Amino acid sequence: MRANPWLETIRSGGTAIGGWISNSSTINAEVMGTAGFDYVVIDTQHGAIDYSGMLPMLQVLSIGASTPMVRVPSCDLGHIGKALDAGARAVIVPMVNDRASCEQALSFTRYAPDGERSYGPTRAVLVEGDDYFDFAGDQISVIPMIETREAMNNVDDILSAPGIEAIYVGPNDLSISLGIKPNTTDPRLDEAMLEIVAGCRRHGVVPGVHASAALCDKRMDQGFGMITVRQSGSGNPWVPGSNATSEPAGTGPSSAGCLPPELIDVTTMVSRFGPAKAGIEGLCTGSSTRRSSFPVGVMRTTDQPYTHATQ
């Protein structure tokens, strides 16, 4: 199988930086896939993407080296199997509220005798190689989302499930479950997120979350090891630069993947940046080399042209 930058990074104790795509655009997928992220997520839960849109986007992501992921609509054997067979290396599963649903999600990603996944990696074997079956158990991941009060009450049971290496916090659903209006700043949400991070530390699991460029350092200092970078100050992820709501930075998906293709100047994209703290700080502190108009804040200098990062 091909290299897996996201998995290699979190297993080595590094911080993985990712992008998020919420609309069906192969141009956006190409831009995001070659920007140097450790992973890129295609959102088929809340994003405007179905299977016919997801498949070509996964194909385009193969141009770059980022680990391709899919957030599936639900914990469903069909949804998870289709995403993996199409070439996703990890699935993010929403609304995992207890250990039983976590173990079920994991079983949907594993072949017998370890799980229930049906064998038919139609595209995955083409892009990953004939050894796909041999390494799928180690290289294919499920990332459960902890985003309700019930899940928080069961956090130790969920995090102790064998085979779970990372989880993802859903801030808006978690806010609603805690009685907090979504897209608003409330210290109770931060407290809940820190409680989840503490649980992850107890069980050796990597916590993931969305964050604006301005919030990257804070989330990293809080202990998040998987950070999806999004545009700062965008109240509506479907409208570039919108401040239509009071959404705090870092609570929604990356608006980079929601930009219409015609608004993306591909030549402003840059070569790879590392997942180390120094790279994140350069991303977050408003370096003069960063184009403020670029939605995910990737740095670029004039001597760093856009290139396809292949591996």
Q: Mind giving me the DSSP string for 81-122?
A: HHHHHTT-SEEEES---SHHHHHHHHHTTS-TTS--PPS--T
Domain ranges in the chain? 5-284
- pLDDT confidence of residue 231: 57
Residues 34-68 as b/e (b if ≥16 CB within 10 A, e otherwise) read bbbbbbbbbbbbebebeeebbbebbbbbbebbbbb
Of 104-113, 133-142, 204-213, the poorest mean pLDDT is in 204-213
Distance CA 205, CA 194 (A): 14
Query: Which of residues 189 and 234 earns the better pLDDT score?
Result: 189
Distance CA 167, CA 148 (A): 13
Mean pLDDT of the region 92-105: 98
Residue whose C-alpha is closest to residue 43's, from 91, 78, 4, 77: 91
- pLDDT confidence of residue 269: 29
Q: Are 97 and 68 in contact (CB under 8 A)?
A: no
pLDDT averaged over every residue in the chain: 79
Res 277 pLDDT > 60: no
Distance CA 46, CA 23 (A): 9
Which position among 46, 203, 210, 308 bears the catalytic label? Answer: 46
The 8-class DSSP code of residue 215 comes to G
Q: Write down the residue that tokens 């928080």 correspond to.
A: 152
Residue whose C-alpha is closest to residue 41's, from 214, 170, 192: 170
46 as an active site residue: the answer is yes
For residue 256, what are the CA distances in angstroms to 23, 32, 40, 206, 253? 10, 8, 11, 24, 9
Mean pLDDT of the region 59-87: 97
Res 126 pLDDT > 60: yes
Q: Are 154 and 130 in contact (CB under 8 A)?
A: no
The 8-class DSSP code of residue 45 comes to S
SS3 48: strand
Query: Which of residues 183 and 298 earns the better pLDDT score?
Result: 183
Please report which confidence band the pLDDT of residue 185 belongs to, taking 50, 70 and 90 as the band edges.
confident
pLDDT digit string, tens, across residues 191-248: 999 999 999 999 999 999 988 888 888 899 999 999 998 754 443 333 222 333 333 4
The two tokens of residue 61 are 């992501």
Mean pLDDT of the region 174-187: 90
Helices (DSSP H) in the chain: which residue ranges? 5-11, 26-33, 51-61, 77-85, 99-107, 124-128, 132-139, 149-153, 155-159, 171-177, 187-203, 216-222, 277-284
CATH class of 5-284: alpha beta
